[in-house]
Chains A and B, each alone.
Chain A
Amino acid sequence: MCSLALFPPPLLDGEITLYESNNELVSGTSASSCPKQEWDPPSLIFPRETLKSHSRPESSSKSAFLDHKDTLWMRSAGAWRDAGLSGLLEEIANRPDEVPKWLSVGSGCMLALLRWISSFHGSLFPHLTLSSEAMVAEFSQVLKWSDGAVRGFAWHPHTDKFAVALLDDTIRIYNSKSATSPTLKHRLQRSVSSLQWKPLCASELAVACHNCLLVWHIDPTSLSTRPSSGCAQVLSHPGHSPVTSIAWSPSGSLLVSASPVDTAMLVWDVAIESCVPLQRVGGGGVTFLSWAPDGGRVLAATPSALFRVWETRMWTCERWPCLKGRLQTGCWSPDGTRLLFSVQNEMVIYALTFSDSPGGPKAASVVADLSETTFSGPNGDVTVGGEVQSLAWDPKGERLAVLMKGVSEAPERPAVIAVFRTRTSPAFELLPCGFIKGEPGVEPRLMQFHPQFQHGALLTLCWSNGKITHLPFYFVSAGATTATCLPHHTAKGTEFSSQLLYTDHSS
């Protein structure tokens, strides 16, 4: 098993990881010493102060606008429309002078009963008592989602184009081939938790919002910087909010969405705007989805210690109960046969191997140990390690980035990204590569690999100061027959790279 003790020690303050070359992470003091490529993705910065978050509480503003001279029936009808049965009962119970006494007392009792039942339900599934913003923050793949400037990031699966979701509920799109960067705004686009481009399509971007899904159609040839909200399809389903995770099928035909409140996972046929709810008993909701790159399976995590792996042909599922906690994050190998995941309250990465033969895997095996490790350096000891926030595996299956949560009370223990080198054939192997270090006092929040980087892998990182940087890993893919020309190399000792750390001979 691979552990953090085998990693090269983390960089000192002031040094920044620039790129990987010759199996080693190269550092420097400023970002300008990076090798140039044909298109350098723009390094962007979105300072937290320039973005005004929308402080729109959902119910408190209602009384300011509602005309209280309406008759009781008008207000009741409004309450029924806005908040359903409980809203109606509350409206009636709060007006004892306008309705008969028995009605107000009766609705008060009903309301109490409803609340008691929902609190009972909430005690079974504690996440239901959270507000929807808190729920998104809890289950998001982004570290400290509620306070970061960047709330989501998505590379286009085929071209050099990406979308960034920001704190002020806008989405910006950057394209290598055009200078215009459209800004997407929509009335319903609130607290964006996840966004993803549709595969095998140039223009569609699905966005998971507060109480709906938006599918934007952005014409790549258009010069408009503010596409109208008419370009967005709104997909909503009663009881399916907030949406915390979405995943397109790799063939581009279906979209699945999940909400921690809804026990059903929805499979959308976006073009005809219809959905099929897939419901199974247990779990109390669905928090995180990940579609295997070969399209055969979907990982669906629940808020309790249980996750499911759906097979997408007949949509049957396997239940995987965990012991310690809920599944926090997971990622698939490029061929869709291996799933790496990590569980809350545990500092390890598990692996599951699937095969087409019946039976399948019986248990997950631990492949990496991320427990706290202390490195001694010139400036004192540095402790690294912790629970996993998110995992990212590059599309060639050669690099695995692991974002580990820091300790929020201790400023000397920020979140850290550890990078492993991986090999899937002939046997599954994990080897240490190194820790990624950013500017001093800044921690990584979100990461994603570029899907089409030619010279190896390109990891895009969103930092806590609102900066988005791109970190290239130059290597020749094991499967590639012709060596691609790498920008330049700096040869150094490779004492850490040759150790074989984990071998899974069962695969």
Chain B
Amino acid sequence: MHKVVRWRAVASFAWSVLLLPVTTSLFVFLSQASLLHPIQWITDSLCLLTASSTMFSLLLLSAVVLVIGIFIQEYCTVIPSIPCSRVALLAKVLHPRQCVHSLSHCSLGMLVTWCAAVTIGGRYRTLSHPCSESENVGQMCLNEYHLFLLLAGAFMGYSHSLLGVVQNMNYVAFHAVQQHKYMHFKGSLPRVVKCSAVQSLYSLRNYIVLYYFFGYGPRLWISQILNLQLDGSSHFLDTVAGLLDFSLLYHLWISGTFLMLTWFITVFLFRIYVSEAYSFPVQSTFTEDAEMCLPKVLSCKEPMVMKFLALQDLALLSQHSPVRRQEVFSLSQPGGHAHNWNAISRECLSLLTDLTQRLVAHHDAVASNGRPKSQGSSTVEDLPKAYPSVSKTPGSVFLRSSTVGLNSPMTAPFTPDLDSPFSSPVIRRLTAQEDPASPWFGSVQSPHVMRRGPKLWSASTGFLAKRALVLYLFNKLPEASGQALFADSQAHIWALEGLSHLVAASYTEDRFGVVQTTLPNILSSMLMLLEAVDRHFKLPHASSKPSRATCSMGDSTHKTLRFALRAALKTALYRITTTFGEHLHAVQMSAEHRKRMQQFLEYKE
């Protein structure tokens, strides 16, 4: 089942390793830059490229890329987790799982810059060098340049990991425009290079400020541990004079860009490979393939990515492939049941109904609380999930992976961490959507459970709320709760597209009339969702658009998914109404829905 994703991941890592020699030689070439001696520049670079140290670095870098790849695969998700308040974000950063991520990226960054230091050579090559001062002749001194570079790598690795949380770097977005992998990569490569250069520049600035103030500490520590002297003859690097060294800054920036580039390319290739469309068979004659059939995969909840791929495939087949549509509309051979259509429409409708319920519950919660963004006590919604409860310690990565290893090895990467109290409620709701025993299901059914919550919380956190810092931390980020509601809306968009295209196609292609039986259901689900979405967009902050990030590798598509969902929903309804036209009057629906439908028929929506 998850073989598909595993092989895709392996292929993407293989490509990123294969691209490593290219980026490395580019780095070598740029690191040896000397504009005044171009011939020497070229010969030096060529010599360095064939040197054994470069080969060793290359091996080491390949290992680093593989480890990074494993981390990406482990942590990536198709549903972004959106922290609803600052404390939730803080909790996300301090989560043990994230700490492991950060620390390993720290050391991997150090490893990469060590390779870079060895490659650049010269004064960066080793950690120690013979002292030049007269009183220390014969002793070894600490080479601060080497240390400076290593610490820069560690810092960049850490900030990469941190920014990954803030910018949702692990989120794999699916794009509306399908392209061949090579074209997609080629088209976006300039952006990746630009991003890594800019990101490296920002990290560099932060690092230099940090080193200027605190560089003294690690230098002293390392020199004491390794019993090295501090060379007093040259400037220390935590002084203005020491830092105003153009060649040092250039090499630092080049190394940082190199580090970011190799990592970003790995992330980027992984995203391209995973989000590529996969064609599932609609039905299969062999029982061993039955697990891979579209209706089966659609209804599975386990690896979210497979469900997303199946929905994407449904949207594509409904639009482009008459042959496969025919299979969807077909009847089963003995019995004459429309199993395929029933399974597909049921799954899509349950997705839509789930979103409707979620929106209604959110709206009710907001309405019962007065304004959604009132101060302090109204942070009901995010407090329970954001507050790190002591009793329930989040499972560490090791713990989790060991338990996962017992069940099935590949469930982990794309299923968000459900045990964690910090995970977005959406994810928990989504996975527990049809589980009547789950507490969320109950709260959807009876909104007053939700209303009871706030009073308890306002009583217990009453005195805390008076403090400004707590207020700041617990205050809900204005747009985040809206974004969190629609975090998985890509699935709904595909469901809407798939359903509406299939229904529109059924007008001419459905020979047995299987779609007709579900048409009233489909229309009423869509209209109910439209009503809920319309109500949601009347809330404050719902229709404000986030500012566009200029250059980041994190995909910010999730911030605007609600607009995409609204547009897809209206288009889906119009697709059905323009195809069926006046025939829709014969479809059973409530008077209210009929009125709304008439609006669509008259193009007044």
**Which A residues form the contact surface with B (CB < 8 A)?**
156, 158-159, 161, 177, 200-203, 220-221, 251-254, 267, 269-274, 276-279, 313-316
Tell me, in angstroms, the Cα distance from A251 to B575 when the chains sit together. Answer: 8
Please state if A159 and B603 are interface contacts (CB–CB under 8 Å): yes
The reply to whether the CB of B557 lies closer than 8 angstroms to some CB of chain A is yes
| CB closest residue in chain B, given A274 | B557
Cross-chain contact A251 with B571 (CB below 8 angstroms): yes
Residues of B at under 8 Å CB distance from A?
Answer: 175-180, 183, 187, 316, 319-320, 497, 501, 545, 548, 557, 560-561, 563-564, 566-568, 570-571, 574-575, 578, 602-605
For A233, give the chain B residue with the smallest CB separation. B545
Which residues of chain B are within 8 angstroms of A161 by Cβ–Cβ distance?
Answer: 603
In the complex, what distance in Å separates the CA atom of A480 from the CA atom of B219?
87
CA distance A272 to B559 in the complex (A): 8
B560: chain A residues within 8 A (beta carbon): 271-274
Instruction: Give A252 to B497 CA distance when docked, in angstroms.
Output: 11
**Which residues of the other chain, A, contact B603 by a CB distance below 8 angstroms?**
156, 158-159, 161, 202, 220
Q: Is the CB of B183 within 8 A of A315?
A: yes
Known contacts A159-B603, A271-B566; is A314 also within 8 Å of B180 by CB? yes
The interface centre, meaning the residue of B177, B561, B566 with most chain A CB atoms within 10 A of its CB, is B177
State how many angstroms separate the Cβ of A202 from the closest Cβ of chain B.
Answer: 4
Docked pose: A271 CA to B533 CA in angstroms:
15
Name the contact of B564 in the complex, choosing from A156, A272, A276, A314 (C-beta under 8 A).
A272
- CB pair A271–B567 under 8 Å, yes or no, is yes
What is the CB-to-nearest-CB distance from B558 to chain A, in angstroms, rounded to a whole number? 9
Known contacts A271-B560, A316-B180; decide if A202 and B605 are in contact (CB<8 Å): yes
Given the interface contacts A272-B557, A313-B320, does A254 sit within 8 Å of B180 by beta carbon?
no
Closest to B191 in A: A277
The chain B residue sitting closest to A277, CB to CB, is B187
Q: Are A269 and B187 in contact (CB under 8 A)?
A: no
**Which residues from chain A contact B545 at a C-beta distance below 8 Å?**
273
Judging by beta carbons under 8 Å apart, are B571 and A314 in contact?
no
A201 near B564: Cβ-Cβ < 8 Å: no
Sorted nearest first, the 8 A-B pairs with minimum C-beta distance are A271-B567, A272-B560, A200-B574, A202-B603, A271-B564, A271-B563, A159-B603, A276-B177
Complex contacts, A159 vs chain B, CB 8 Å: 602-603
Instruction: Identify which of A156, A251, A252, A272 contacts B563 (C-beta below 8 A).
Output: A272
Tell me if B's interface is mostly helix, strand, loop or mixed: helix
Residues of A within 8 A of B564 (CB): 269, 271-272
Q: A274-B557, A276-B187 are in contact. Are A201 and B570 (CB under 8 A)?
A: yes
- By the criterion CB–CB under 8 Å, are B176 and A254 in contact? yes
Residues of chain B contacted by A267 (CB below 8 angstroms): 177
Residue from B176, B178, B566, B605 within 8 A of A269 (CB atoms): B176
A201 to B600, CA, bound (A): 9
Are the CB atoms of B575 and A272 closer together than 8 Å?
no
Shortest beta-carbon distance from A36 to chain B in Å:
23
Are A314 and B178 in contact (CB-based, < 8 A)?
yes
Q: Chain A residues near B183 (CB, 8 Å)?
A: 315-316
C-alpha spacing A228/B534, complex, angstroms? 21
Q: Can you list 12 pairs linking A and B with CB atoms under 8 Å apart?
A: A200-B574, A201-B571, A220-B603, A221-B604, A267-B177, A269-B176, A269-B564, A270-B567, A272-B560, A272-B561, A276-B179, A315-B178
Q: How far is the CA of A269 from the CA of B176 in the complex (A)?
A: 7
- Flag if B605 contacts A203 (CB, 8 Å): yes
Considering the chains assembled together, what is the distance between the CA atoms of A313 and B316 in angstroms? 9
Given contacts A251-B319, A315-B179, contact A278 B187 (CB under 8 A): yes
Kindly name the residue among A158, A202, A271, A278 whose own CB sees the greatest number of chain B CB atoms within 10 A.
Answer: A271
Report yes or no: B605 in contact with A253, Cβ–Cβ below 8 A. no
**Additional A-B contacts beyond A177-B602, A202-B603, A272-B557 (20; CB < 8 A):** A161-B603, A202-B574, A252-B571, A252-B574, A253-B497, A253-B571, A269-B175, A271-B560, A271-B563, A271-B566, A271-B568, A272-B560, A273-B548, A273-B560, A274-B560, A276-B175, A278-B187, A313-B316, A315-B179, A316-B183
Contact between B179 and A253 (Cβ–Cβ < 8 Å)?
no
Which residues of the partner chain B approach A202 to less than 8 Å between Cβ atoms? 574, 603-605
Q: B575 to chain A: which residues have CB within 8 Å? A: 200, 251-252
Can you name the residue of chain A whose Cβ is closest to the Cβ of B184?
A: A276
Contacts of A220 in B (CB 8 A): 603-605
CA A221 – CA B574 in complex, angstroms?
17
A59 to chain B, nearest CB (A): 25
Complex-state Cα separation, A313 to B183, whole angstroms: 14
Contact, CB under 8 Å: B320 / A158: no
How far, in Å, is B537 (CB) from chain A's closest CB? Answer: 12
Q: Which of B175, B176, B319, B545 has the most CB of A within 10 A?
A: B176
- Is A279 a contact partner of B187 (Cβ separation < 8 A)? yes
Question: Which residues of A have CB within 8 Å of B176?
Answer: 253-254, 269
Which B residues lie within 8 Å of A274 (CB)? 557, 560
In the complex, the answer to whether B177 meets A254 with C-beta atoms within 8 Å is yes
On chain B, the residues within 8 Å of A314 by CB distance are 178-180
Chain B nearest CB: distance from A248 CB in Å?
11
- Closest A residue, CB atoms, query B180: A314
In chain A, what residue has the closest Cβ to B565? Answer: A271
- State A315–B187 Cα separation when bound (angstroms): 12
What is the CA–CA distance of A267 and B184 in the complex, to the nearest angstrom? 13
B114 smallest CB distance to A (angstroms): 37
Cβ contacts under 8 Å, A272 to chain B? 557, 560-561, 563-564
Complex Cα distance A201/B320, Å? 21
Please, how many angstroms separate the alpha-carbon atoms of A253 and B498 in the complex? 13
Residues of chain B with a CB closer than 8 A to A251's CB:
319, 501, 571, 575
- A202 to B603: give the CA distance in the assembly, Å: 5
A221 vs B605: C-alpha distance when bound (angstroms): 8
Please measure, in the bound complex, the distance between the C-alpha atom of A279 and the C-alpha atom of B567, giving whole angstroms. 27
CB A496 to nearest CB in B, in angstroms, measures: 37
Q: A355–B567 Cα gap in the complex (Å)?
A: 32
Please measure, in the bound complex, the distance between the C-alpha atom of A314 and the C-alpha atom of B605, giving whole angstroms: 32
Q: Bound complex: CA of A156 vs CA of B177, how far in Å?
A: 25
Residues on A with C-beta less than 8 A from B180 are 314, 316
A200 to B564 CA separation, bound complex (whole angstroms): 15
What residue in chain B is nearest A202 (Cβ atoms)?
Answer: B603
Q: A157: nearest residue on chain B (CB-CB)?
A: B578
Q: How many Å lie between the Cα of A315 and that of B180 in the bound state?
A: 8
Q: Is the CB of B179 within 8 A of A201?
A: no
By a CB distance below 8 angstroms, the chain B residues around A277 are 187
Chain A residues within 8 Å of B567, by CB: 201, 270-271
Least Cβ–Cβ distance between A389 and chain B, in angstroms: 31
CA distance A128 to B545 in the complex (A): 35
B319 — which chain A residues lie within 8 A by C-beta? 251
Known: A202-B603, A271-B563, A272-B561. A158 touches B571 (CB 8 A): no
User: Which residue from chain A places its CB closest to the CB of B561 in the assembled complex?
Assistant: A272
Chain B nearest CB from A428 CB (Å) reads 23
Given contacts A221-B604, A271-B567, contact A200 B578 (CB under 8 A): yes
Give B277 Cβ to nearest chain A Cβ, in Å.
9
Q: In the complex, what distance in Å separates the CA atom of A276 from the CA atom of B545?
A: 19
Candidate in A161, A251, A254 with the most chain B CB atoms within 10 angstroms: A251
Question: Distance (Å) between the CB of A154 and the closest chain B CB?
Answer: 15
B178→A313 contact, CB < 8 A: yes
Nearest A residue (CB) for B316? A313
Q: How far is the CA of A269 from the CA of B567 in the complex (A)?
A: 10
CB distance from B219 to the nearest CB of A (A): 37
Closest beta carbon of chain B to A354's beta carbon, Å: 15
